[in-house]
Amino acid sequence: MELSTKHALQQLWAHRGLLKYLVRLSMLAQYKKSFVGVFWLLLMPVFNVLVWVTLSVGGVFDPGETEIPYPAYVLLSTSIWQLFVVLFDQVSKSISAYSSVMVQAAFPRVIVTFEKVVVQLINFLIPLLLNIAVLLAMGVSLSWSALLFPFALIPLVLFGWGLGMIFSLIEIVAIDIYTLVHRVITTLLIFATPVVYTDTIESPIIQQVMRYNPLTYLLVGARDVLIRGELSNPVGYFWVGLGVLVFFSLAFLFFIRAERKIIEKIVI
């Protein structure tokens, strides 16, 4: 494992120029044909807030008590959630997106997953600034500990990245399994995570599901660091984060060992 991982990291460093080029290309291309361009990064979070606030005010569901105004709570939570979902989505499609290039050029294939992660982290900066502005405008005091928020996001990023690497390979050999899991993660899993409601919601079934959902600890932990300046459940966050680190390491190793055989599937 050590030799394979070390070699992969060396290859990544040797091809850092390619990484910079791919990131630049993606950043220029993603809004090239869009009328509002980069403002989509602001419009989508605002749209999400309007939907969930309307449902809450209309009595469709009770999100539970939030320690900050509910619009700010939903905006922050959905922004963090979208970072995870888009990371998984983009990384899981990275091999198919670059398949034509991969069969013609020799370079470390893991670099295309790394490019997707870098692009999405850059994209996340705009919603993050919007969140901070909304929190301050609504009277939420942010402590200096809120500066640790980017570090608190690391386990969530690694989890999305690791899942994406595994399913980027599955997409090539078992599209039906990929489609099923992709749909569950991108559309249904939000209801098993305290994104639009709190972990104090009255439903005992949802509370039980959230308790065993690792994303609960990662999302709530990152959110707490920003608005509270501390973790509300440091033990849970630590153990889930440790598990994510092990999972990512195994996913990374699996990817660099399996991607060559997967590329052969593309050729065939």
On whether the CB atoms of residues 18 and 107 are closer than 8 A, the answer is: yes
Give the pLDDT confidence score for residue 173 in this predicted structure.
77
10 Å Cβ neighbour count for 250?
A: 13
Among the listed residues 187, 188, 165, 168, the one whose alpha carbon sits nearest the alpha carbon of residue 178: 168
Tokens of 30: 């993603």
As a whole number of angstroms, the distance between CA 51 and CA 74 comes to: 10
For residue 210, the model assigns a pLDDT of 87
For residue 241, give Cα distances in angstroms to 41, 60, 215.
Answer: 28, 34, 10
pLDDT by residue (tens digit) across 124-169?
Answer: 988 898 889 989 988 888 888 999 999 999 999 999 999 999 988 8
Residue 106, classed as helix, strand or coil, is coil
Residues in CB range of 157: below 8 A, 6 or more apart: 83, 84, 87, 117, 121
pLDDT at position 151, please? 95
Closest residue by Cα to residue 151 from 231, 56, 52, 243: 231
Question: Whose structure tokens read 């929190």?
Answer: 135
Residue 35 in this model has a pLDDT that exceeds 80: no
Residue 265 to residue 96: CA distance in whole angstroms: 11
- Tell me, what DSSP letter sits at residue 233? S
Q: pLDDT of 230-249, one tens digit each?
A: 998 999 999 999 999 999 99
Is it the case that residue 2 has pLDDT exceeding 50? no
Q: Write the CB contacts of 142 (distance below 8 Å, at least 6 apart in sequence).
A: 132, 135, 136, 226, 227, 229
- Full-model pTM: 0.86
Distances (CA, A) of 177 to 167, 197, 266: 9, 29, 17
94/89 Cα distance (integer angstroms)? 9
Query: Which amino acid belongs to residue 201?
Result: I
Amino acid at 192: A
pLDDT, tens digit, 9 for 90 and up, residues 179-213: 888 888 888 888 888 888 887 777 778 888 888 99
Does position 1 have pLDDT exceeding 50, yes or no?
Answer: no
239 versus 49: which is more confidently predicted? 239
Q: What is the pLDDT of residue 3?
A: 45
Q: Are 92 and 116 in contact (CB under 8 A)?
A: no
Average pLDDT, the chain: 82
Q: What is the mean pLDDT of residues 244-260?
A: 88
Q: Could you tell me which of 77, 67, 63 has the C-alpha nearest to residue 206?
A: 63
Q: How far apart are CA 216 and CA 241, in angstroms?
A: 11
